[in-house]
A and B are shown apart, each in its own frame.
Chain A
Amino acid sequence: MSRSDLSIAIQSSENSAFLMSHGNVDYLRKMIILNSMLKGFLGGIHLLENKFTENLAIEVMPAPKRVYIPLSQHAGKSAKPVVQKDDFVKIGTKIGESEGFISASVHASISGKVLDIKQHPHPVLASAECCIIESDETEDWAAGMKEKHDYENLPKEELLSIIKDAGIVGLGGAAFPTHVKLSPPPDKPIEYLLINGCECEPRLTADHRLMLEYPIGIIEGAKLFQQILDTKHLIFCIEDNKKEAAKIFINENEEVRVLKTKYPQGAEKQLIKAVLNRTVPRGGLPMDVGCVVQNVGTCYAAFQAVKFRKPLIDRVVTVTGDGVKESKNLLIRIGTSAIDVVNFCGGFVDQPKRIIFGGPMMGISQYAEDVPIIKGTSGILVSKEVSSYEEGPCVRCGCCVDVCPMGLMPTEIYKLVKNKKFLKSKDYGVLDCIECGCCAYGCPSKIPLVHYLKYGKNEVWRLSKK
């Protein structure tokens, strides 16, 4: 029995153990058959999960005094501001209108006065145009919000336009506008809707808590997506380090796939490979193999948008790390600055050395403490100690090649990029890199491979634009 067979056997028996205790024997049989067919994905690594906050319930952080809401929080075009300096806004008032198809609207997350629209530190873009709102502390909602609406009989066009209007984007991190993902061209029928509850990054527990505390909202949101896409199958994909969450969805009689924990399982293409054993073609999208993948947070946000007409003005964020006094899972308004969040968590332990937005593997380190939470921010990690490494020579150990989930050769690409052979690096697939960080994590010479690959990508794009 090979190692992978063995792991599947263990996986099946573990699943059966907890399914037995639930008495759902039919489902148990189905799960074992399905799990034995799961092939997993190529490469990847096993990380120390360090999910210290998984037992902490989501707390609601009160609205801050001031928010900095970037007009660009998503993949695609930046939104166009529709408010001016000194305007008064309420919670949910649209402050940025989406421009073009691949774009998303932006809404005020507190009620108050627009102080200014100007450049401010941005967690992804370094600096971007932000709408700065000072709170009037009334917490008034814009008209028509917070009321319940029926949505069962709405046509799919209307559902789509509500989701678009609410500024819903993928909350897994990439922040791709959701209405775009939900509008595949007619020649690409979608068979499977996968709901991504993997949260494979170490330390982050935001999705995990959401699944434990608001499963019904997630399921409703997922059903909504299913209705819009008209897919036959809806599958919740959860890693086996979140069995409690998986149980809840199984008990709701949803189709659940419990996956063997491995990083980066939450990456779209890897997830589709692991669950359906379908390979998204190079340069293609999940819809090319009849799939759409949506994050659990996105489902919940869409549900709220349709049910309460509530735009995306807050999200769950895990705040943790040795540099912050108290680790928490928080529901935070979009635009809250990192320093306000840390102060709510008891403040810094010591002089912070590094603040990361996102997880330790793919997160972005920040240069300013007043950088705002945006729609794609899943975690804030504060470190008071940072170990630094000196880049050694590549010893051709091949570790990076072994672990790359995209089948790339990071060592070759990094050498090409270092020697400025960008076009050749494109042949080696630099644009296929998903920046998961597996290669750099395992590199014994501590070469910042992701840094070189990101640089190579940018140069290739720049050269091809010319």
Chain B
Amino acid sequence: MKDLLIVSASPHISGRLDISLAMKAVILALLPALMFSVYIFGWRALLVTVITIVSCMISEAIMQRMLGKKITLDDGSAVLTGILLAFNLPPGVPLWLPIVGSVFAIVFAKQLFGGLGYNFINPALAGRAFLMTSWPSFMTKEWLIPTGSTLSGIDSITSATPLTLLKNPANFGPPEVIIQRLNEMATIKNLFIGKVGGCLGETSALLLLIGGLFLIIIGIVDYRIVTGYLVSFGILAFVLPTKANLPFHLFSGGLFLGVFFMATDWVTSPVTKKGRWIFGIGCGVLTAVIRIWGGYPEGVSYSILLMNVFTPLIDRFTKERIFGEKKKGVKL
């Protein structure tokens, strides 16, 4: 056998990028935010992250074994789902909650639909949405007080997230005072650096921005989704009636985590160029609408999940124009 020549279809060379390398790059881009989270919320943040990673990997392995598939833990996708899910949990949650979320994310959102590449919604966000609807009290109250903190002295008492303060200021004190403090320069600065209450990995806009730009530069994250999302959200947050200013809206909540790491998930976003613009803009509009008019203080995860569901439809209606094809509207 060894004397025979190998015959294969062209091309005979291949790029260096493969799935596990891409996943590693995304994990690398998330590490600064994780380390910062450990710094402000303490070792519990790391514990929650480790729990989600391990339970995601175990669920993936068991499911693949049961479905008679090859076990592909080495592609790193389960690890990434684990990290992203942990980033979307309040750092003070009871420790069984991340396990339940991970199992739901991997088993129901990913493996039952065929595993990597076939899930129609982002598994980590699906896990978060499941926990959010099942145990809302744990998911919205277990905030930890960030170290060195500060939202001008408000959250050090209540540990509420900035967006909760914006949504229901009356629950925390005189509304005018709170709103005014939220719009202060010092607050914006803390939001940008991340010294505020919130989900485990979403607080530091700065570090997420650095990670996200790194992924755009190496070509793993598509700039169209990111630009469409940020610009459309920014315009609406500026134009629509809201009590907070634009930088507050941009740097608060999970916006940067969602924009750079969740909306740009390969599997659940459109493949066409035009489709990605539409997807990004759709996410931005929905996020703004939920935040400003909706019942929840934060709208990033639900808006991305909603747009995930639209992805097949977007792909179908934004087919690429084939080279030399007549412009649409002219039928031959």
The reply to whether the CB of B329 lies closer than 8 angstroms to some CB of chain A is: no
**What number of residue pairs across chains A and B have CB atoms under 8 A from each other?**
159
The 0/1 profile, CB within 8 Å of B marked 1, for residues 268-308 of chain A is: 01000100000111111000000000000000000000000
| Cβ-closest chain B residue relative to A47 | B13
Instruction: Return chain A residues, CB-CB under 8 Å to B181.
Output: none
A396→B122 CA distance, assembly (Å): 13
Contact B10 A355 (CB under 8 A): no
**Chain B residues, CB < 8 A from A399:** 17
With a CB–CB cut-off of 8 A, which chain B residues contact A363?
10, 12
From residue A9, how far is it (CB to closest CB) to chain B in Å? 21
- Shortest C-beta distance, A370 to chain B (Å), equals 12
A435 touches B5 (CB 8 A): no
Q: In the complex where A354-B5, A355-B5, A441-B15 touch, is A407 in contact with B272 (Cβ < 8 A)?
A: no
Q: Which of A397, A406, A450 contacts B323 (CB 8 A)?
A: A406
The answer to whether B322 touches A429 (Cβ under 8 A) is yes
A4 within 8 A of B: no
A450-B9 in contact (CB<8A)? yes
In the complex, are the beta carbons of B5 and A367 less than 8 A apart? yes
Docked pose: A398 CA to B8 CA in angstroms: 24
Most A CB atoms within 10 A — which of B3, B17, B324?
B324
Shortest Cβ gap from A138 to chain B (Å): 35
In the complex, chain B residues whose CB is within 8 Å of the CB of A450: 9-11
**In the complex the two chains form, is B118's CB within 8 Å of A202's CB?**
no
Q: Is the CB of B9 within 8 A of A442?
A: no
A440 CA / B11 CA spacing, docked (Å): 7
B321 interfacial contact with A, CB 8 Å = yes
* Contact A282 to B118, CB < 8 A, known contacts A361-B11, A397-B266, A398-B222: no
Contact of A361 among B13, B266, B272, B319 (CB under 8 A): B13
Residue-wise interface mask of A (322-354) relative to B, using a CB-CB cutoff of 8 A (1 in contact, 0 not): 000000000000000000000000000001111
Which among A65-73, A82-90, A229-237, A386-394 touches the partner chain?
A386-394
Q: Which of B117, B272, B273, B325 contacts A394 (CB 8 A)?
A: B117
* Residue among B11, B276, B323 with most chain A CB within 10 A: B11
Given A395-B116, A445-B18, are A279 and B320 neighbors across the interface (CB < 8 Å)?
A: no
In the assembled complex, how far is the CB of residue B25 from the closest CB belonging to chain A, in whole angstroms?
A: 11
Q: Which residue of B lies closest to A399 (CB)?
A: B17
Nearest-neighbour CB distance to chain B for A339, whole angstroms, equals 12
Using an 8 Å CB-CB cutoff, how does the interface string of A431-461 with B read, 1 for contact, 0 for none? Answer: 0100101001111111010110010000000
Decide if A366 is an interface residue (CB 8 Å cutoff). yes
A280 close to B5 (CB less than 8 A): no
- Contact at A354–B117, with CB atoms within 8 Å? no
In this complex, which of B9, B12, B319 has the most chain A Cβ atoms within 10 angstroms of its Cβ? B12
Chain B 1-58 interface residues, beta-carbon cutoff 8 Å to A? 2-15, 17-19, 21-22
* Nearest chain B CB to A123 CB, angstrom units: 12
Query: Do A444 and B21 form a contact, CB below 8 Å, given A366-B5, A395-B116, A432-B322?
Result: yes
> Does A216 make an interface contact (CB < 8 A)?
no
Q: How far is the CA of A443 from the CA of B16 in the complex (A)?
A: 9
B271 at interface, CB cutoff 8 A: yes
Q: Which residue of A lies closest to B21 (CB)?
A: A444
B10 and A361 within 8 A (CB): yes
From B72, which residue of chain A is reached at the shortest CB distance? Answer: A392
Whether A435 touches B117, Cβ cut-off 8 Å, given contacts A284-B324, A409-B271, is no
Identity of the chain A residue whose Cβ is nearest the Cβ of B9 in the assembled complex: A451
Partner of A396 from the list B18, B271, B321 (CB cut-off 8 Å) is B271
B19's partner among A365, A381, A429, A445 (CB-CB below 8 A) is A445
Instruction: Look across to chain B and name the residue whose beta carbon is closest to the beta carbon of A382.
Output: B5
In Å, the complex CA distance between A369 and B3 comes to 11
Q: How far is the CA of A398 from the CA of B275 in the complex (A)?
A: 11
* Contact A446 to B18, CB < 8 A, known contacts A282-B322, A353-B6, A432-B323: yes
Q: Check B169 for interface membership: any CB of A closer than 8 A.
A: no
Contacts of A394 in B (CB 8 A): 117
Closest Cβ of chain B to A436, distance in Å, is 8
Beta-carbon nearest neighbor of A358 in chain B = B10
Complex contact B272–A401 (CB within 8 A): yes
Whether a CB of chain B sits under 8 angstroms from the CB of A360 is yes
Is the CB of B269 closer than 8 A to any CB of chain A? yes
Given contacts A381-B12, A440-B14, A445-B18, contact A407 B271 (CB under 8 A): no
Complex interface: chain A residues within 8 A of B9 (CB): 448, 450-451, 454
Interface centre among B15, B315, B320, B323 (most CB of A within 10 A): B323
A269 touches B323 (CB 8 A): yes
**In the complex, what residues of B have CB within 8 A of residue A202's CB?**
13
Residue contact B322 to A352, C-beta cutoff 8 Å: no
A405 interface contact, C-beta 8 A: yes
CA of A399 to CA of B270 in the docked complex: distance in angstroms? 11
Q: Is B267 an interface residue (CB 8 A)?
A: yes
- The residue from A393, A396, A441 contacting B269, defined by CB atoms under 8 A apart: A396
- Cβ 8 A contact of B22, one of A360, A383, A440, A444: A444
For A240, what are the chain B residues with a Cβ–Cβ distance below 8 Å?
Answer: none
A216–B322 Cα distance when bound, in Å, is 39
Known A-B contacts A398-B271, A435-B10; the reply to A405 vs B323 at CB < 8 A is: yes
Which 3 A/B pairs are nearest by Cβ-Cβ distance?
A437-B11, A451-B9, A393-B117
What are 29 inter-chain pairs, A to B, with CB distance below 8 A? A282-B322, A282-B325, A354-B6, A354-B12, A356-B12, A360-B10, A360-B13, A361-B11, A366-B7, A381-B12, A389-B14, A392-B19, A393-B118, A395-B117, A395-B266, A395-B267, A396-B269, A397-B266, A398-B276, A402-B273, A411-B271, A432-B323, A441-B11, A441-B15, A442-B17, A444-B17, A445-B18, A448-B9, A450-B9
Interface residues of B (CB under 8 A from A): 2-15, 17-19, 21-22, 75, 114-118, 222, 266-273, 276, 315, 319-326
